[in-house]
Amino acid sequence: MTGTGSRRPPRSATAPGQRTRRAEPTRATAYRLLRAVADGAYANLELPRLLRRARLSGRDAAFTTELAFGTLRNRSFYDAVIARAADRAVTRIDDEVLDVLRLGVHQLLGMRVPDHAALDQTVGLARAVVSQGAGGFVNAVLRRVSEADRDTWLDRVRPDGGGMAALALEWSHPEWIVGALRAALIGHGAAGPESSDTALADLLRVDNEPAKVTLVARPGLTTVADLVAQGGVAGAWAPTAVVLDSGQPADLAEVRDGRAAVQDEGSQLIALALAAVPTGVQGRAKGRWLDLCAGPGGKAGLLAGLAPYAGADLVANEVSEHRADLVRQTLAPAIEAAAARGCTVEVRTGDGRNYGEDEPGGYERVLVDAPCTGLGALRRRPEARWRRQPGDVTALGPLQRDLLRSALDAVAPGGVVAYATCSPHLAETTFVVRDVVRKRDDVEVLDARAVVEEASGGALTDLGEGPHIQLWPHLHGTDGMFLALLRRTH
């Protein structure tokens, strides 16, 4: 160190003309992921394919994942650093070069990579994937970045005056999302106006930390004990959850053949709660459950395991044919297991908004896992924060309300509807429920807290004032899942 906040520029014993001119596999794979995301790919879906193609596993796969996902999460902060170090707006830097620079800055400011290795390897990547000239530019910019640590750079680029803009830059969230999350923390009772700044900073910080890999042991197909015996750890809240501290999910046979799957613990609790809440449906020999928006099949997979034990059939509906095919694939083992117990699991392709009219009162339990902005899962989907816009909230609102209305018409008197989103945004959660319920005289809002406590085996308590449930990454370690439980009274 040459002084507070400064670092000695890295020196290399290798002459500039002899430095690496190739793309090292882990960094090249991270770069390919960033370019795929720029073209519209989803990072969590694309990365496993790229890792397999590059034959990366173990420590190399972990390095690649942290490099790519950390770069995506911290994009706006890194762009501000790059703009200052390059003395030009990032809009004046070619997209391919900018992605290489982002990867280099994350190694320097966000990872424990020696400065000389970060520079040499990133310059080599630039030369391999862009051009020789790009390598020189990348080298010059990254050398300037390497002269100071993260905190010093943050002080240099942070907007004056603090507030939302400063938090947005420090934790690399769009400012509109920062404002929405603050309002959600207050609106859901997770913070008061006086404590909201601290709670917000905690939430934003955790959004930038890698989420744990959590599996669901699908009932009737495998058990938590089976997965724990292979190195997992039982989850904290859901009795079906197992956390993997190391290794890849696909290394487990149970995951490969669909007896277990990757699923956040909060998501599991939604399905478990719907299955646990008592219903008052009369005069039916067998129950019928409906997942109105089943794709890609996570909650449907858990419901498909639970329904036969309750003597119920399950219909898993998805509007997109492609996503319906994904549901069929993930439910294939459950379909066979349900048949052995005399029950059916049926996957359909259709518009969930039509079920209330087409099958009025036809179901005992209905799940509306509504399409939403996904602001509760930013840890797992690092690029989502940059793709979503405020207008998306407005655009999704009518669909969310229509689906909830349809579900309430499709459930029988005495039956229960679970409305869930992976977003805490007030306009996607409590406002939707309020708007739909106040126009009906046949709906009772249930207190979801007791049901979720039961579904978690008493592990998850202190769930706020109710009646709805809002889980938080920084408080519960889950995705930001919202749950409302509604009973059809007549």
Contacts of residue 423, Cβ cutoff 8 Å, sequence gap at least 6: 372, 373, 374, 375, 376, 429, 480, 482
Contacts of residue 331, Cβ cutoff 8 Å, sequence gap at least 6: 258, 297, 300, 301, 304, 316, 345, 347
Report the DSSP beta bridge partners of residue 211: none
Which among 489, 469, 379, 383 has a CA at the least distance from the CA of 420?
A: 469
Enumerate the H helices of 284-380 as residue ranges: 298-306, 321-340, 355-358
Tokens 């200052």 belong to 84
Tokens 């390919």 belong to 32
Residue 121 in tokens? 């390897």
Report the DSSP beta bridge partners of residue 213: 244
Distance of CA 96 to the CA centre of its chain: 26
Task: Report strand pairing: 363-369 vs 411-421.
Answer: parallel
The SS3 call for residue 149 is coil
Report the DSSP beta bridge partners of residue 289: 314, 365
Residue 422 falls in the annotated catalytic set: yes
Which among 28, 46, 50, 26 has a CA at the least distance from the CA of 38?
A: 46
Nearest 5 degrees, angle CA 436-CA 439-CA 444?
Answer: 70
Report the DSSP beta bridge partners of residue 485: 418, 446
> How far apart (Å, rounded) are the C-alpha atoms in residues 81 and 102?
9
Inter-CA distances, 442 with 289, 417, 482, 483, 488, Å: 20, 12, 22, 19, 6
Number of C-beta neighbours around residue 110 at 10 A? 18
Buried/exposed 351-368: b ≥16 CB within 10 Å, e otherwise: ebbebbeebeebbbbbbb
Amino acid at 460: L
Which among 411, 427, 429 has a CA at the least distance from the CA of 419?
A: 429
Catalytic residue (choose from 293, 343, 372, 422): 422
> How far apart (Å, rounded) are the C-alpha atoms in residues 437 and 263?
30
What is the set of active-site residues?
422
